[in-house]
Amino acid sequence: MPVFEWKGIDAKGKNKKGITDAETIRIAKEKLKKSGLFLTSISAAKAGATATDGGSSEGGLLSKEVDFKKYFQKISQSEVAIMTRLLSNLFGANIPVVDSLTAIIDQVENEQFKKILSQIREEVNEGTSLSEAMAKFPKLFPPLYTNMVKAGESSGSLEIVMDRLAEYTENQMALRSKLSGAMTYPAIMMIFAVLVVGILMVFVIPKITKIFEDANITLPLATRALIGFSDILASYWYLFVVLFIGLYFLFRRWKNSKKGQRRWDKWMLKAPIFGDLTRMIAVSRFAKTLSTLLASGVPLLSAMDIVKNILDNVVLIKVLEEARVAIREGESIAVPLKRSGEFPPIVTHMIAIGEKSGQLEEMLTHVSKNYDVQVDSKLNALASLLEPLLIIAMAVVVTFIVLSILLPILQLNQQLG
């Protein structure tokens, strides 16, 4: 069996080297990867022990397996976060940028991601900076990411910047996971409720109401309303589907317009229940991002320009644009934010203290952590509130349907008795 020499680093960032045996170099890579090592180089240990990275060529084209999955793979934020963390570890072990990218490419399983990283490695190998190479893929590496990498390259602290980027990406993923987790159960309940009521209306109620067709009784108002709605839904259900889709696209078109987006975003900040949560998430994201950028050496005005692009609310974006102009004219950060009325007083107060004490990054970090806790609490309270409300709503609808069916049956029994 062929023998291979390898060099790499372990999960703690320590340099390692050794010899392993495997049938092919690919199997050797997989074997070492499973043991938690990140390879920087691997080669045959002795002459004549070469191995091909792949299977036999017998059988021609018909014997090759076509992996359609790789053509539809998407690159997730989780993969970017893992790559960023690995780069931080590799840079911390004094591994050159090109070698670090090579080591990561060997570990990546997503073919699309592997291709992009290979292109970045080629750019860096030809003399382009890492930040410039990454900037060519803005969907994967947004301005926030590339500007921080650029600041790290300029200051010689790329390892620290990559560590902060990894932490930032992981925190954003955790927040997104909390939001989706809190909304998943209520969403499933709503879909289930709509399906149950739809099945009752279209299939069950029409069969039950046939009992009353030959009966000489006056049906209660609730029963007549239920039968009428059931008939309309059963006969014109496709119109309801078309109407729903049409209204959805009209809403999207209005929301994407300049005027509509501003009105919607303004309402989202003041909406009952969800308004406070929306503002808390925005403030937490603002504070965390600005703190990360400033701590990485990005200038304040550039940092403000980047931060506004990660907020999904045009009202808050306008506030940051006006604040950036005010800062350029000599004002502090806290004054224009306080003047807007969109940022909570405690936030502007803590920012003002941070500016005066020269600890703005630390103060922004405290603000972010504080609001992360509040977001967690708010999400838990929201989930606890929505669940019983949905159950009550389902109970009311089902009770109405049951009573609308039972009342005429009882009335018919009385007449027959």
CATH number at residue 187: 1.20.81.30
pLDDT at 2 over 80: no
In the chain, % of residues over pLDDT 90: 15
> 223 pLDDT exceeds 60?
yes
Separation between Cα atoms, residue 331 and residue 326, nearest integer Å: 5
Average of pLDDT values for 395-402?
A: 84
Higher-confidence position of 214 and 223: 223
Q: Is residue 411 part of a domain?
A: yes
Measured distance CA(401)–CA(223) in Å, rounded:
8
Q: Is residue 145 part of a domain?
A: no
Mean pLDDT within 145-152: 85
Residue 300 lies in a domain: yes
Please state which of the ranges 43-52, 117-126, 197-206 shows the lowest mean pLDDT.
43-52
Report yes or no on 277 lying in a domain. yes
Q: Which segment of 93-97, 197-201, 331-335 scores lowest on mean pLDDT?
A: 197-201
Per residue in 228-243, pLDDT tens?
Answer: 888 887 788 788 889 9
| Residue 20's pLDDT band (cuts 50, 70, 90) | confident
pLDDT band at 206 (very low <50, low <70, confident <90, very high): confident
As a dihedral over the C-alpha atoms of residue 360, residue 363, residue 369, residue 374, rounded to 10 degrees, the angle is -120
Q: Does a structural domain hold residue 390?
A: yes
| C-beta neighbour count of 150 within 10 angstroms | 23
pLDDT on residue 18 = 79
Tell whether 407 is covered by a domain. yes
pLDDT at 69 over 90: no
- Which residue would you say has higher pLDDT here, 313 or 23? 313
Count the helices and strands in the chain (H runs, E runs): 16, 3
Per-residue pLDDT band at 73 (split at 50, 70, 90)? low
User: What is the rounded CA–CA span in Å between residue 101 and residue 24?
Assistant: 22
Q: What pLDDT score was predicted for residue 231?
A: 82
Q: What is the pLDDT of residue 130?
A: 92
Query: In this predicted structure, what is the pLDDT of residue 215?
Result: 64
> How many structural domains compose the chain?
1
Please, which contacts does 217-223 make with residues 24 or more away whose CB atoms are closer than 8 Å? 217/408, 217/411, 217/412, 217/415, 219/408, 220/404, 220/407, 220/408, 220/411, 222/400, 222/403, 222/404, 222/407, 223/404, 223/405, 223/407, 223/408
Out of 150-154, 220-224, 267-271, 411-415, give the one with best mean pLDDT.
267-271
Mean pLDDT (the chain) is 81
Q: What share of the chain is helix, strand, coil (3-state, %, to 5)?
A: 75, 5, 20
pLDDT bracket for residue 48 (50, 70, 90) = very low
The answer to the question of residue 122 being in a domain is: no
Range of the domain at 192: 171-417
Centre a 10 Å sphere on the Cβ of residue 217 and count the other Cβ atoms it contains. 11
Strand boundaries in 64-175, DSSP class E: none
Q: How confident is the model at residue 47 (pLDDT cuts 50, 70, 90)?
A: very low
Own/partner pairs for 218-224, CB < 8 Å, 24+ apart? 219/408, 220/404, 220/407, 220/408, 220/411, 222/400, 222/403, 222/404, 222/407, 223/404, 223/405, 223/407, 223/408
User: Phi then psi for 16, rounded to 5 degrees?
Assistant: -135, 155
For strands 38-44 and 3-9, give the pairing.
antiparallel
Is 94 within a domain? no
Question: For residues 311 and 250, which has the higher predicted lDDT (pLDDT)?
Answer: 250
Tokens of 411: 């009335």
In whole angstroms, what is the distance from residue 298 CA to residue 292 CA? 9
> Which residue intervals of 156-220 are DSSP H helices?
158-199, 205-209
User: Distance between CA atoms of 401 and 226, rounded to whole angstroms?
Assistant: 7
